[in-house]
């Protein structure tokens, strides 16, 4: 879950505001973006990836916020770790992006999706030798003398 905008590093580019799929951040004219809806964070790390200043810290717990100390966080490599290990930014040469592994999985994923769609389509169709279900007849009104 997003925990921290590191004020000493933030360059006010608002990329985090623009890339967040759940609108967690609010832009502040003339200031740093703020975490406005922390509980909506999906812990997708897109904000960390797109932050060119490594000014964001996303904690590993996606269910609840955790107390963080900005000074302690900035003494570690946590704010830039995900971006670095994903092959983004200044460490691109040292940590190549390994996304190409997904290319091996994509054909299998597409085949599974196609099979699921085919199965669902067959489940919705009525076999030709079986008549469609008929609605139940309405009950007759009681006999009145």
pLDDT at 21: 93
For position 141, what pLDDT does the model report? 61
pLDDT in tens, the chain (145 residues): 999 999 999 999 999 999 999 999 999 999 999 999 999 999 999 999 899 999 999 988 888 898 888 898 888 888 888 887 777 777 666 655 555 555 565 677 677 778 888 887 776 655 555 666 666 666 666 666 5
Domains and CATH numbers, the chain: 2-91 (3.30.70.20)
Per-residue HEC secondary structure of the chain comes to CEEEECCCCCCCCCHHHHHCCCCCEECCCCCCCEECCHHHCCCCCHHHHHCCCCCEEECCCCCCCCCCCHHHHHCCCHHHHHHHHCCCHHHCCCCCCCCCHHHHHHHHHHHHHHHHHHHHHHHHCCCCCCCCCCCCCCCCCCCCC
pTM of the complete model: 0.62
């Amino acid at each position: 879950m997003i925990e921290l905008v590191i004020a000493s590093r933030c360059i006010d580019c608002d990329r985090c505001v623009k890339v967040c799929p759940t609108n967690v951040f609010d832009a502040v004219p003339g200031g740093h973006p703020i975490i406005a809806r922390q509980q909506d964070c999906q812990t997708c790390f897109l904000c960390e990836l797109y932050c060119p200043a490594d000014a964001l810290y996303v904690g590993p717990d996606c269910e609840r916020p955790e107390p963080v100390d900005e000074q302690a966080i900035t003494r570690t490599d946590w704010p830039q770790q995900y971006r670095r290990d994903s092959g983004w930014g200044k460490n691109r040469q040292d940590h190549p992006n390994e996304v190409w592994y997904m290319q091996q999985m994509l054909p299998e994923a597409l085949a599974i999706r196609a099979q699921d769609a085919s199965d669902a389509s067959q489940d919705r169709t009525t076999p030709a030798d079986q008549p469609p279900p008929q609605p139940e007849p309405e009950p007759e009104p009681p006999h009145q003398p």
